[in-house]
Amino acid sequence: MTDPDIPGTLTPSEDPQESTKWGKLVGLIPCLQNVELINDRFKVGRSTTCDVVIGNSIGQGIIGSISKEHFLIIKESSKVYLVDTSKNGTYKNGERIKKNEKTPLKDGDKIAIGSHSHHDLYETTVSVGRSSDCDISLSNAKIDPKIKAIFSKQQFVINKDCEKGVTFIKDLSTYGTYLNGVCIGKNKQNVLQRDDVIAIGKPDRNGEPKIFL
């Protein structure tokens, strides 16, 4: 206990850090911790000079989309702004914001990062295909050209909804993506579970896909 009548002591309500807190950055991906916003400028990115450093624990598919200094949160009087300073883009509620311009930010807004497919705070997305834009790209992989040709530029994506604890696989391909021998169907998704078998390619005479992953 502290005595409010003794000079130099603090009551709980007089904690200088408590009095300067004006918001909280809530990480909805498990590896991102909640962060109290105290300073008027708050920097997020891969660099160790950032206020929030996003490390490799977030996953290789996402870390490659994050710039050294990805975005800023700025408080000016009673208003708060989001500023994109990245190469691959920053999104607010699903829409990409303009680089180096202040975008108003309010309580409950969702900040996301990414390149061709942005990564929302509440889910982790990994794309697979021939395109160099995919998180797992086969563009430079040492694979038989005939086999590589079966892969679409974007073959499929795997989304993990961290809030619900469910993982989905969505087929984006031309020749099909199969889950446990059954074609998912283009632009359709199925729940993905441990030990499921993913396969791709035109089916053979027996209806089986050509390549198992």
Q: Does the pLDDT at position 1 exceed 50?
A: no
Q: Which residues pair with 210 in a beta bridge?
A: none
Highest mean pLDDT of the ranges 137-146, 169-178, 202-211: 169-178
Residue with tokens 């603090």: 10
Spell out the residues 6+ positions from residue 89 whose beta carbon is closer than 8 angstroms to its own.
Answer: 96, 99, 113, 114, 115, 118
pLDDT for 163 equals 53
Backbone angles phi, psi at 100, to 5 degrees: 65, 20
pLDDT of residue 59: 57
In this predicted structure, what is the pLDDT of residue 188? Answer: 93
The predicted-structure confidence for 149-206, as pLDDT tens digits, reads as follows 788 988 998 876 655 667 889 999 988 899 998 999 999 999 998 889 898 876 655 6
Tell me what the mean pLDDT of segment 63-81 comes to.
Answer: 88
pTM for the predicted model, two decimal places:
0.48
pLDDT digits (tens, 9 = 90+) for 27-45: 766 567 778 888 899 999 9
Percent of the chain with pLDDT over 70: 69
Q: Residue 12 has what pLDDT?
A: 35
DSSP state of 69: T
With contact defined as beta carbons under 8 Å apart, do 139 and 153 qualify? no
Is the pLDDT at 121 greater than 60? The verdict is: no
The per-residue pLDDT for range 78-108, each reduced to its tens digit, is 899 999 999 888 888 888 899 999 999 887 7
Rounded Cα–Cα distance for residues 127 and 89 (Å)? 17
Query: What phi and psi, each to the nearest 5 degrees, are found at residue 207?
Result: 85, 10
Residue 183 host element (H or E): strand 182-183
Residue type, 126: V
Smallest CA-to-CA distance from 115 within 146, 138, 139, 89 is with 89
**Would the pLDDT of 60 be above 60?**
no
Residue 114 clears pLDDT 50, i.e. is over it = yes
Q: Is the dihedral of CA 55, 22, 114, 170 positive or negative?
A: positive
CA neighbor of 110 nearest in space, from 42, 29, 53: 29
What is the reported pLDDT for 100? Answer: 96
Predicted pLDDT at 122: 33
Q: What is the pLDDT of residue 9?
A: 31
Q: Token pair for residue 37?
A: 């916003």
